[in-house]
Structure 1
Amino acid sequence: MKKVTFAALAVAAVAVLNVPVPASAATIKVEYVYSGTVKESGGEFTCPAGQVMTGRSHNGDENANTTYQCSWILIDGVQVEVFTGDWFGYAKESNSNFSAPLDQVIVGRWHHGDENGATEYKTGALYLQGRQVRITNRTWTSAYTESGHTTQAGFNQVMTGRNHSGDENGKTQYQYGTVTFAG
């Protein structure tokens, strides 16, 4: 029978303690905190600092109001930082199709005029304690009639794109992505 010494048991115990343990999944919460309304035909809207776009509502033509919903993102109870860029994606509204760059979200929209006017978007990159927050599983909604709709992000999702064709009777779709973080 082999005799096991205390030193051998200590070495074996230390080896067991050094086995990597998978990181626990981070708790992510996208929480609605603000809405703002602007006239569609002359409306520039940007979510407040630290917030991202999670919904939009519009009823009527370009002279009617558009309401945007903004949310902050909490990961393990800590608010995610949102670093915004410049306006881009300049396109004629009646034929616009915009998707934010990889791992970025929409934080603002600017539109001027009717369906022949221009639309631009402002995006933001998300970080938690210096580490980038990812946006995965981007999917498009079904088409809504622009002149009478409301859209809202799903569970732990944020707005990442918008597609519109035609005038206020045309169709609008939204792209939403899921917030993910390797904790």
Structure 2
Amino acid sequence: MTASPADRERVAVLLGRIPRGDFDVVVRTVSGDPAVLRNAPLLDDGTPMPTRHWLVHSGLRAAIGTLESHGGVRRAEAELDAEAIARAHAAHAAERDGDLPTGYEGPKPFGGVGGTRRGVKCLHAHYAHWLAGGADPVGAWVHEQLLDTDLMPADAPGRITS
């Protein structure tokens, strides 16, 4: 994973801190600003990084925070098929774990989307996974909620399909 120096600098501004590990920008806004990162499975110091896709788009983070503050996590769990959510967790974990160094024997990341093993922990992480092309029913649900509630920022990226 090799983010450009310009992307590393911009992501530091978006996060409000210097990123602690390697990443690629996998989704951008129409203007080219980073929106979703794909993180390496280990931070620079070897700490496991369970969250594969990280949403850095400030407008989307705020909009999804609004969904969460209005019971969005509970609503998503109630409205969506638990098995489909479990499949999204498994696919997320498999992709992330597939990037561990060959022969790596140290502590490994755990869980699926957002580091959880089942259910929904963080709508932001599910949406980032979905935007990056993951088959994530929670991310798709979040997208529909953003559109239905007019919370979608004007500069928000579309979903990557390839």
Does TM, normalized by the shorter one, top 0.5?
no
Query: What TM-score results when the alignment is normalised by the length of structure 1?
Result: 0.25
Task: Flag the structure with higher helix content.
Answer: 2
**Bigger strand share:** 1
In the superposition, the TM-score normalised over structure 2's length comes to: 0.27
